[in-house]
Amino acid sequence: MKIVMCASEVVPFAKTGGLADVAGALPIALEKAGHEVIVIMPGYKAVYAKTALLIKNVRPGLSSAAIGKAVKVYFIDHDFYFNRDALYGDKAGDYIDNIDRFSFFCRRTLDLLKEIDFKADIIHCHDWQSAMVPVYLKSMTYSTDPFYKTMRTVFTIHNIGYQGLFNKNEFPKLGLAWNFFGVESLEYYEQVNFLKGGIVFSDVINTVSDTYSKEIRTSEFGFGMEGILDKRKDSLFGIINGLDYSIWDPAADNFIAAKFSAKDPAGKSVCKEDLQKICKFPLKKNVPLVGVVSRLAQQKGFDIVAEGIDKMCKMDLQMVILGTGDEKYHKIMESMVKKYPKVISLHLKFDDTLAHKIYAGSDIFLMPSRYEPCGLGQMISMKYGALPLVFKTGGLADTVDASNGFIFDKYSSEELLKTVKKALQAYQSPEKWKKLVDKAIKCDFSWLVSAKKYVQLYENARNRS
């Protein structure tokens, strides 16, 4: 099959979250399975800042590089739109011209396919930033151009909380007829909603876990999209993300202090000591080390973590937090560091190396997300022998159970604290702990399995008229 992966962030070129991991790894897995894949993303400033990546300018407005064996990655260049410090916004909030930036990206994506004569079977779009591709494909000149006629679209929702909402006044910028602005189309309460466009106009929709695909059809998790998703329930699927084990494997990880594996786990204690040193913690072997690598946001469970953190710091544990997010949570955690400097260590930044060291050095990985479309953190932590402690939702519910981690099913700080206590108790029983770690380390979330499911989904989309 000829497949286009269209995404606003792709590892190793630009990343703010899990979407980038998927958009970087899935094309390579598809290539391995014998498909012809290209990737299209914006050419941000960050992409060109990484000089180690071999990026060639093809012509004005277009650059390219390669991943995997020969997957071509095309960068849509636009100095004004994409040569900025961040991907979507700065401290002041989202960039005010995101509607221009990402509608431009989507239209250029479709134009590019014709320019390079890539007659795709499937255009696989991700999240609101590329959600206008399916809309444009069924409108403007694309809908009548024979070149695009057999192309089908798959739209993956990585997080329904981010929808790309814009003022109705800006609708004309999209170049679409007003009949595309309506409740059956792009309108959402007098606003333009890109994500909704993707849901309505794509051939097949999926989310990144089975449980999340069901949750988003309810008002609790649907962020207003539950109605339209329920209408499209026959076209809505769930495929858990794979994990890129070429990046996340403690047996071959150059970022960590000592390599280890299920067969040879001795290096893990070296990694723990290394992490304790980084955190300036007492070098105690028998105190469980709790790691967090996460956005500091309510979605990630920081409301209940913040509520329970003082009590947690009084328990017999050490805790390291890496991440940035809401100022409110930065402050709360900073005050905890002042109060319990030997117990909690805070790193308010994005730091890949430290992330690897935390997965490798922790005993428990705390990820009590209120909702979690898939979640990579828990899968990574399992591979590194850090047992995930999670709330039962979305992808967390699909990957963690009592045999490989700790899971609670009522979202509250009391339940969180109870579960932390349970984990600390289990840690005191080395035999029990070893069994859990062994099961976790052996979990296989490889892309091969998920890529196969995507191929089935693409076949499904191709069979739609």
Measured CA to CA, the distance from residue 360 to residue 350 in angstroms comes to 17
For 81, 94, 226, the CA distances from 165, given in Å and listed in that order, are 18, 11, 16
The CB-of-160 to ligand ADP minimum distance in angstroms stands at: 12
Q: Which residues pair with 308 in a beta bridge?
A: none
Judged by beta carbon, residue 1 or residue 86, the one nearer ligand ADP is 86
Residue range at the interface with ligand ADP (CB under 6 A); choices 55-63, 64-72, 372-380, 413-421: 372-380
Dmax over CA atoms of the chain, in Å, equals 68
Q: Out of 43, 134, 361, 375, name the contact with ligand ADP by CB under 6 A.
A: 375
Judged by beta carbon, residue 61 or residue 222, the one nearer ligand ADP is 222
Within 298-376, residue ranges assigned H as helices are 302-313, 327-339, 352-361
Judged by beta carbon, residue 181 or residue 350, the one nearer ligand ADP is 350
What DSSP assignment string belongs to 104-166?
A: HHHHHHHHHHHHTT---SEEEEETGGGTHHHHHHTSTTTTT-GGGTT-EEEEEES-TT---EE
Q: Out of 225, 355, 387, 420, name the contact with ligand ADP by CB under 6 A.
A: 355
Q: Out of 43, 198, 377, 388, name the contact with ligand ADP by CB under 6 A.
A: 377
Size, binding site for ligand ADP by CB under 6 A: 18
Tell me: does residue 37 bind ligand ADP (CB under 6 A): no
Of the candidates 173, 174, 196, 172, which has an alpha carbon nearest to the alpha carbon of residue 185? Answer: 196
The CB-of-320 to ligand ADP minimum distance in angstroms stands at: 12
- Counting Cα atoms < 13 Å in the Cβ hemisphere of 385 gives 26
Tell me: does residue 43 bind ligand ADP (CB under 6 A): no
Which residue's Cβ has the minimum distance to ligand ADP?
A: 18
Tell me: does residue 397 bind ligand ADP (CB under 6 A): no
The CB-of-151 to ligand ADP minimum distance in angstroms stands at: 28
Helix or strand (DSSP H, E) at 435 = helix 430-441
C-beta of residue 320 within 8 angstroms of C-beta of residue 356: no
Per-residue contact string for residues 272-301; x = within reach of ligand ADP by CB under 6 A? ---------------------xxx------
C-beta of residue 199 within 8 angstroms of C-beta of residue 227: no
Judged by beta carbon, residue 164 or residue 323, the one nearer ligand ADP is 323
CB neighbour list of residue 245: distance below 8 Å, 6 or more residues apart: 383, 446
Q: Out of 225, 317, 344, 376, name the contact with ligand ADP by CB under 6 A.
A: 376
The CB-of-208 to ligand ADP minimum distance in angstroms stands at: 8
Judged by beta carbon, residue 36 or residue 249, the one nearer ligand ADP is 249
Residue range at the interface with ligand ADP (CB under 6 A); choices 16-24, 128-136, 282-290, 329-337: 16-24
Per-residue contact string for residues 144-163; x = within reach of ligand ADP by CB under 6 A? ---------------x----
C-beta of residue 139 within 8 angstroms of C-beta of residue 103: no
Measured CA to CA, the distance from residue 405 to residue 82 in angstroms comes to 41
Lookup result for tokens 């814009």: 166
Tell me: does residue 238 bind ligand ADP (CB under 6 A): no
Applying CB under 6 A, which residues contact ligand ADP? 17-18, 21, 159, 293-295, 322-323, 350-352, 355, 374-377, 380
